[in-house]
Amino acid sequence: MQSNPDIKAPLWLLAELTYRCPLQCPYCSNPLDFARASEELTTAQWIEVFKQARAMGSVQLGFSGGEPLTRKDLPELIAVARELGFYTNLITSGIGLTAKKLDLFADAGLDHIQISFQASDETLNAALAGSKKAFTQKLEMAKAVKAHGYPMVLNFVLHRHNIDQIDRIIELCIELEADDVELATCQFYGWAQLNREGLLPTRKQIADAEKVVASYREKMAASGNLTNLIFVTPDYYEERPKGCMGGWGAIFMNVTPDGKALPCHSARQLPIEFPSVLEHRLDDIWYNSFGFNRYRGYDWMPEPCRSCDEKEKDFGGCRCQAFMLTGNADNADPVCSKSAHHGKILEAREEANHCQMTIEQLQFRHQRNSELIFKTSV
């Protein structure tokens, strides 16, 4: 149902199978009112989504959440995706993973597993995840994933409470023989945006962490350890925005647990009615829906984006961030120093320098908090 030949098919489909999760991380990117989405797509409905995406030309399929391991049909979904020809990636906290499940996933044809950690030690990991047993479970499963022959991919979400232990985090990754390590500072959406005051690192913390990462990269290169060490800093300390998701509706499609199709993880918060896969075919959504076409290309751009010589690089920045910080998704991303709203970012930087908020003062992601937020928003 392609009506515009200039629009290419989505290469990557992210299936957010569920918002359920045993952990309570205060930086979770799930929507604040996730309790509103009580219904999840069935096995058959997800399989139909996969078939439609593959027919469009999508090649990579990520299983995410919440915690995707809470879905009992995960092995079946992996097997169908593999049969359709997808490269499959499981993004998990590792909680609920077992050696038996790893065997099932391997038999089903899973290509890739990424495990996330909250910290490099049990105490801080427990404080952030809301689970005392999580750290030990993660360690055991990371070793089991490696033993099964999967690439050892570890992810640490960094923020002001754990970034100063980045050297110990890297040492843990080396100990676990990680092949790929992503040290990614919080992206401030969902619960991370709610807790931004207590999570945004200071500029000094970022600079110190960059030095540590550079030092380890040199050591690894000298020793022949070719671990891929990626460090993603927060755009709050940039003067130009990042090219969010490779451009709006360009290469990525996200399907939520209840079937909403989105051009990025956080677009659900925008004042746009995004279509459901239960009511529309995926190709119709991708090529023809208002939501996916709203910010494609450059015609929608106001100044200063429209005349900016960098618009083909950053696509005007993040629409969700523009909406969250300015109340209007059409505005230039406030990260950009050319934006009339750049002062919002400068205020956040200054706030980070003086914040004394402890971990205990953060709002943690769990059902009760979500229900309260949902009730106060309607």
Q: Among positive and negative, which fits the CA dihedral 227, 89, 92, 264?
A: positive
* Residue 205 near residue 164, CB atoms below 8 Å: yes
The enclosing H or E element of 229 equals strand 228-232
Determine whether the annotation assigns residue 28 to a binding site.
yes
Cα–Cα dist 319/65, whole Å: 22
Q: Among positive and negative, which fits the CA dihedral 339, 315, 326, 354?
A: negative
Amino acid at 46: W
Both tokens of 64, joined, read 């995410």
C-alpha distances in angstroms, 70 versus 19, 22, 32, 356, 378? 9, 9, 20, 36, 29
Determine whether the annotation assigns residue 355 to a binding site.
no
Determine whether the annotation assigns residue 21 to a binding site.
yes
Q: Residue 360 carries which DSSP code?
A: G
Cα 101 from chain centre: 24
Please name the residues in contact with 258: beta carbons below 8 A apart, sequence gap of 6 or more: 37, 38, 39, 40, 41, 276
Annotated binding site: 21, 25, 28
Residue positions forming the annotated binding site for [4Fe-4S] cluster: 21, 25, 28
